[in-house]
Structure 1
Amino acid sequence: MGDSHPDSTTIPSADSAPVAPTAPKTATPRPPPRPTLLQKLRYILTRRLRNTAQSVDRSLLRLSALLSTPNGIDVVLCTTGYTLTLVYALGQQVLEKQLAAVATDFADKAADVMLPGETLIAELPASAGIKLLAQTVGSSKAIADVIADYRIFVRMWGMLGLYTWARDTYLSPLPKEATRKEKLLRGTTWAAIASCVLFQVLENGAYAASKGMLTSEAWTGDAGKKRETWWWVWSSRFWAAYVGCEILRLLIERAYREPRVEMAGDGEKEDKLRLEQEKKDSYNARFTWWKDLISNIAYAPMTLHWSIEEGVLSELQVGIFGTIAGGALLADAWRKTA
């Protein structure tokens, strides 16, 4: 027969059906091992070192930017010089007290073995602490003097900056409808320029004479020394006049300050950015005003001190006022490098 037949007509039962492979059991996840104390300390130390390195890097970049301008250099040297003057004055007081205490103690002990009318001359060895303090005091004074001399020297060509200041002021006259505030500020500006010019001329002459640059008969001998002192004193008086002009300018700005109006935005991105910029500008203006006020108030007694031959301040007071004045200027200059 031509028909083909299956080899088996048996119907497969359920028992004979192919069995599906059993899925493997999923392993229970285990929590990661807890870090050991050493690993925690290593992580904290690494993070601290990284943050410190980043902070030092930012500070060095800002310091580089600060010292890249003549004004920045002068501010740093001003603060450093007066701070060293303060260190010198404080160290000198401590040193004198320690030496007096040693001498008093030695005299009390020697009084018990000396006869009335006897004189004792002795050379006492200084302790390591007294030697270190004396070296610190001497170095502070020497560095402060070098900084002061350098700052006066680089100011010798400051007349060019004063010329630019006067020229810009002259070429920007006030409009006819100028307010009273603008007129007062312009008057204080011209007064400040005049006082700075006179200060600079007199200081340059006195400094040149002190360094032996002026050798004419008028600048030699007792007469020349007297003239040099006179120029130093009057240069400080015109510096005092400039400081007075600056304080007056600040008072005028505060007296005629326009009230700040809060502008409410409608929530748009541009309005938010504008409000943030206005707040930033307002903060910068307040910071600058207070910086100028603090520095000039601190400079005022120093200008009076050098305006009198005998002086009115001690070395300690000069260091305190100078550090405050320089510190205020340095804080503003450092803030601008951010």
Structure 2
Amino acid sequence: MADPEHPPGSSEPAGAQPATTGVGKASSVSPAGGASSSSPSSATATTATARRQLLAALQATDGTIARLDKLMTSAYGQERVFAVTGYLSHALHHLLVSAPWIAVQTRLSLLARLNARATPKKSGSAASPPPTSRLLALSSLMSETRYALRLLGLFPLWTWGADTLRSPPADRTIYTLTMLQVVSNMIYQALENGGFLAAKGVVSKKFVDRWGGVDKWYLWSTRAWFGHIFLQFFVLWRQYVLRKRKLSTETEKGKEEKEAELKAEIRAWKKSLVNNVCWAPLCLHWCVEKGIGFPDQFAGVVSFMAAAWGVFDLWGATAN
């Protein structure tokens, strides 16, 4: 960060010289020769205001950076930051190369020329390929970084399964669905890790090619991920049924006492539903070799929609 500018000095301009009047008194004149109209108190007040504004800006910046640092102290927080950066850069790239945006740029350029506010530009300058291609490169970098971070993803999945076995949910249906999700996610992560390491030359590609190649491993990895998403709809349905059943048996007094807990539970349920609804069409599209026709230009927007609520909650937690 650049150093703050030093406030202007208190010395007078070099051209201001004391002039002796006919009665032997000196009066201050400006460099232009006229009497100086600037007040020292006014200059001091302006400097103080500028200092306060600079201090406030620095304090706001410091607070934001502190919250970002707190957000990224966990591996999950770092992964979420990379994810949102990748999603937004992908979405922005497709926005800037879209026909409507180019039409708007062209119209604004024509208006500028008609009003003589801009010099004529070459016809190919409206699309601005270099900046948009850099955005796509950033999105690709974020995606690859997240692949690398997920190389350790099997460990928390193992812990998830072990915890579920040690402390199973009271509902047998939820327990079964959860264990199926654990298995599905472990298959997904193992195949993704194998494909990624083979693509980077860490694992022998001959072994991977023997079982379909890197692309096939990625494809089946995504299908295993879709298995998790598919099962999550049943988990959410079962949670809804159990919550309605529980509320029907509770007294009004009991409902009032647990109102905050119930609101938090419903909010978490809705957040999971939104996440699942957003990911389902995208994941299904990627599960099919030729896709199901989902527009690629909307992939970044929908992915961001899936992650936005969770990231918003993570950011809110950094204020505590």
Tell me if both proteins adopt one fold, taking TM over 0.5 as the criterion.
Answer: yes
Look up the match of 1:73: 78
Aligned-pair distance for 1:319? Answer: 1.4
Q: Is the 8 A contact 2:96 2:102 kept in 1?
A: no
- Residue segments in structure 2 that go unaligned for 5+ positions in a row: 1-41, 108-120
Alignment partner, residue 134 of structure 1: 129
Match of 1:294 in 2: 274
Count of aligned positions: 258
Map residues 177-216 of structure 1 onto 2, 5 A cutoff. Answer: 178=170, 182-215=171-204
TM-score (norm 2): 0.69
Calculate the TM-score normalised by the size of structure 1: 0.66
Does the CA-based 8 Å contact 1:196-1:242 persist in structure 2? Answer: yes
Structure 1 residues not aligned, in runs of 5+: 1-36, 103-123, 265-273
Q: Is the CA contact 1:291–1:332 (under 8 Å) kept in the aligned structure 2?
A: no
Match of 1:162 in 2: 157
- From the superposition, tell whether residues 45 and 284 of structure 1 become closer, same or farther in structure 2 (CA, over 3 Å): farther
Q: Secondary structure at the match of 1:256?
A: helix
Residue 314 of structure 1: how far off its partner (Å): 2.0
Identity, in percent, stands at: 23
Paired residues of 1:86 and 1:315 also in contact (CA < 8 A): no
Instruction: Tell whether 2:68 aligns with 1:87.
Output: no
Aligned to 1:119: none
**Structure number with bigger Rg:** 1
- Residues 67-126 of structure 1 show CA distances to partners (whole Å, capped at 9, x for unaligned) of 11001111111111111111111222249956xx89xxxxxxxxxxxxxxxxxxxxx945
Distance, in Å, in 2 between the alignment partners of 1:49 and 1:151 is 37
**Would you say the 8 A contact 1:162–1:197 is kept in 2?**
yes
1:317 to 275, 280, 298: 298
Kept in 2, the 8 Å contact 1:85–1:315? The answer is: no
Structure 2 Cα separation of the partners of residues 42 and 171 of structure 1: 66
Matched with 2:284 is: 304
Query: 1: CA distance between counterparts of 2:59 and 2:219?
Result: 48
CA contact (8 A) 2:157 2:182 kept: yes
2:234 corresponds to which of 225, 228, 248: 248
The amino acid of 2:264's aligned partner reads N
Cα distance in 2 for partners of 1:319, 1:205 equals 25
Relative contact order: is structure 1 or structure 2 higher (C-alpha 8 Å, sep ≥ 6)?
A: 1
Q: What letter matches 2:290 in structure 1?
A: E
